[in-house]
Structure 1
């Protein structure tokens, strides 16, 4: 595929309260390996357009406004990749931090970090966001961290491989919830959440391609927990540190990605400013450490695989840039190379360009 085969959309933080200097949503043309980046547009006048998600057919882009109480919809120009504002609606809570479209594409699920809930928002046929159809409140005993864990704090939403379930890591409760997705797009709890050690702070998750295992990166203790996944239930099988045993400084884990073949997993460390690599045993699902590599910047809040899965892209929030780390032989990461400068970046998503 050519040098402009994909559009990359980069969300950022924009407010002084966050110590941020982002300009909005930055749009680039890239190749499938994301080696070459060409800036196309910046959509400004947005408050903390931090996390981004496409609608089911990638005709619309949905955006949370971090620290606020709203989410927005944008139509995507199939030729230029440009964004046109559609509408903005209340998200049913405070500080929306993540979002994903339902399997049928008729609902948007939003994690409201400071309101301890997940909102289900209707999506109209024209991509516009509608009313709130359901609010699911997450309950449980908060973790022991006196600052970070005062109550439930859902931090991410991912669909299971078979798209029958919504998986929700919760930083405040040291737990990961699973909800069954009903025919009308509504959510129903499958049972008690899976819990990790006190003070772990579950943050983000990925599913292995065969659907049998889920991996959760913990923000507060910088560990990855492996779970067996069966009929909507998570069963812990292993936890492993994402930091070297010689490191004693301050660090918080953030992002997690898994290669499409399910063999190599990576997690980011903010503070240590690195990516931890792990090999996945295809039978047991257990992880083994496979090196820790500097991320090439400061505070890698988000990581993503390139469209062809040949590299990991780091959104380095405090050094205002994106770096690229090639996935080499046996899943080892090669040294980071800066590929684009973006102020306070926190999320990257890709869309294939129409031909």
Structure 2
């Protein structure tokens, strides 16, 4: 978690900015479409602004044929360390992972210009919010507050965030004293069928499972209220495959991927596999996890001393993984990464080296080749996409 790598500082520069500029949109930049495919998606990058090297959310036009990213616009907001896009791609939600009480901001996205228009901001009801996701019906968002160990569901209407619909507070500790001294909710993920909310808690080594009422946003403990993960492993991010039958959990502290069979709120462990080579002896700090768009490979990012991506071949029938290789991310602290919608490129965001490295993906082998292309931006920590229209 970034708390062990980065100290929070308050920038006096933000205090001097007028309210409308802090949470609004800067003057639009020219958006040149010449030479770009009409169906090219927009790339969104969330950043940490407390380093003084970034301003908030950055929007690019991404050419899925060449891997070229062209700046389009930026929205000034503090520490938007994680972003979620609404199912209809009309709105963007961002946590504001500020020191002390955090916030959640919403923006409307203009597909014709690539501009983000600020809608509103509400308290996250906790400290250091680090994750936000949108329900499949588009009516709610869920936020995980790492610092306070709680998760909150907010209603949204036309992109505007309302008062909390419900929230849950976790308690407990884990064996790693400096990281698991209390609960640390690290992700809040809606189930594929929108019936459950799963909250990965790094501090207590559990996936907490809640029934989710899709009409009201209310939460209640599921029949199986939690999944116990190996003590000291620190569950972080999780993804489901397209069938909804398999889930893949990334553990930050132990650097492992856990493969689960999933059915109606219940997880059955199938496999545990390391995201590091067998002879790795350095510091572990794993982070993000994604399936390739075709579902044939799974990738996991490692920070610590590794600064790498683990590449796994996936058996779609069994859900199990086998190691296909490891790739240096060519930067420092790959906190987040993602594929372009077509799966042709993988973008690795480096919090400490202040860049996004663009790799070409070999869809047959899963291997990655450096394109030589870089996006220079301060402390990039989230990669998301919005489709063109």
State the TM-score, normalizing by the size of structure 2.
Answer: 0.85
Aligned to 1:120: 153
Uncovered stretches (5+) of structure 1, i.e. residues with no partner = none
Match of 1:163 among 191, 194, 205: 194
Equivalent residues in 2 for 1:163-242, closer than 5 Å: 163-182=194-213, 183-190=215-222, 191-242=224-275
1:203-256 alpha-carbon deviations (Å, 9 max, x no partner): 001101111110001101111111111110111121111111222111310010
Secondary structure in 1 matching 2:126 = coil
> Which shows bigger deviation, 165-174 or 232-241?
165-174
Match of 2:301 among 268, 271, 291: 268
Secondary structure in 2 matching 1:168 = strand
> Which shows bigger deviation, 52-61 or 81-90?
52-61
Secondary structure in 2 matching 1:80 = coil
Match of 1:306 among 322, 326, 340: 340
Deviation, 1:4, is 6.9
* Contact 2:183 2:204 (C-alpha < 8 Å) held by counterparts: yes
Aligned to 1:339: 374
* Contact 1:159 1:166 (C-alpha < 8 Å) held by counterparts: yes
RMSD over equivalenced CA pairs, Å: 1.7
Secondary structure in 2 matching 1:340 = strand
> Which shows bigger deviation, 29-38 or 81-90?
29-38
Deviation, 1:43, is 1.9
Secondary structure in 2 matching 1:256 = strand
Aligned to 2:15: none
Distance (whole Å) between structure 1 residues aligned to residue 275 and residue 262 of structure 2: 22
Secondary structure in 1 matching 2:365 = helix
Match of 1:96 among 129, 136, 152: 129
For the pair 1:11 / 2:46, whether they are aligned, the reply is yes
Deviation, 1:59, is 1.2
Distance (whole Å) between structure 2 residues aligned to residue 320 and residue 275 of structure 1: 18
Stretches (4+) displaced over 3 A: 335-338
Aligned to 1:31: 63
For the pair 1:129 / 2:161, whether they are aligned, the reply is yes
Aligned to 1:110: 143
Call closer, same or farther: CA 1:338–1:269 in 2, change over 3 Å. Answer: farther
Aligned to 1:83: 116
Call closer, same or farther: CA 1:208–1:33 in 2, change over 3 Å. Answer: farther
Uncovered stretches (5+) of structure 2, i.e. residues with no partner = 1-35
Aligned length: 348
Deviation, 1:96, is 0.7
State the TM-score, normalizing by the size of structure 1.
Answer: 0.93
Deviation, 1:261, is 2.9
Deviation, 1:193, is 1.3
Aligned to 1:330: 365
Distance (whole Å) between structure 2 residues aligned to residue 257 and residue 33 of structure 1: 21
Deviation, 1:293, is 0.6
Distance (whole Å) between structure 1 residues aligned to residue 290 and residue 181 of structure 2: 28
